[in-house]
Structure formats: C-alpha cells, structure tokens
C-alpha cells in the first residue's frame, strides 16, 4: 500500500527518536498502533456494509426473477389444465417430456388388419395357383 523500504523505515525511526525522544517513543508507537487499529476497524466495517448492501440488491434482483418465472409457470400450467379440461390439445398442453405420441384406438392406422401367426409362403411370379 505505502511501499516503505528498509532504508526509509530506518530513516523514520531515526527521525522519531530525535523528535520524540527515546523516553516517550514506546508511548507514541502504542498510540500510533491504536490509531491504525481504529482506522482498520472503521475500514472493515465500511467495506462489510457496502458488501452487505450489494448482496441484498442481488438477492432482491434474483427474487424478482424467481417471482416472474413462478408467475409464468403458473400461467402456463393453468392454460394446460384448462385446455385438458376442455378436451383440446394445443401445443401448450402437450407434455414436452414425452418422446413420442402414444397411439390411440381412434387413430386411422389402428383400423388396419393385423396379421397374427406365421406368414404364408410367397408364390413365384410365374407360378399358377
């Protein structure tokens, strides 16, 4: 932060000894340490307050998105239930998870005859019955 080198620190110690004196230097350093600690606490408190406000804003934004998605899902579900109750099958009422439609007995291809058993032998083209 301040990038104080060894030679600069030595110069500060010499100036402090000359100006303050060796007798009062421990008291001065203790007082300076207390001030630095107070400044750090205030800085950390300020930073944590800002981070809390940011987190709360993000949570409000996410809650808003979740509420919108929930409302959309509830609308779609109500539309699907209404369509199913009316006997209609619009695109919204079809289950998207079904891999293929299930054939019903009323389908046109269900009326085709189904052969059960072995296949009859094939007759050659030139053969007579």
What is the phi/psi pair of residue 89, to 5°? -130, 70
Domain boundaries along the sequence of the chain: 43-84
**CA nearest neighbour of 80 among 67, 61, 68, 97:** 97
12-16, 38-42, 93-97 — which one is most confidently predicted on average? 38-42
What is the phi/psi pair of residue 11, to 5°? -65, -40
CB 93 within 8 A of CB 80: yes
Model pLDDT, residue 70: 94
Beta strands in 1-129, from DSSP E residues, in sequence order: none
Q: Please write the tens of the pLDDT for every residue from 37-80.
A: 999 999 999 999 999 999 999 999 999 999 999 999 999 988 88
Task: Look over the chain and give the mean of its residue pLDDT values, rounded to a whole number.
Answer: 80
Model pLDDT, residue 89: 56
Query: Rounded CA gap, 36 and 43, in Å?
Result: 10
């Amino acid at each position: 932060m301040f990038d104080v080198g060894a030679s600069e620190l030595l110069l500060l110690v010499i100036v402090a000894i000359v100006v303050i004196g060796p007798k009062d230097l421990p008291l001065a350093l203790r007082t300076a340490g207390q001030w630095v600690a107070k400044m750090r606490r205030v800085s950390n408190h300020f930073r944590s307050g800002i981070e809390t406000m940011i987190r709360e804003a993000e949570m409000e934004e996410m809650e808003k998105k979740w509420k919108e998605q929930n409302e959309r899902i509830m609308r779609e579900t109500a539309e699907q239930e209404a369509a199913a109750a009316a006997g209609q099958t619009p695109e919204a009422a079809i289950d998207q998870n079904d891999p293929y439609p299930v054939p019903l007995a009323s389908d046109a291809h269900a009326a085709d005859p189904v052969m059960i058993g072995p296949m009859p032998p094939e007759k050659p083209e030139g053969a007579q019955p």
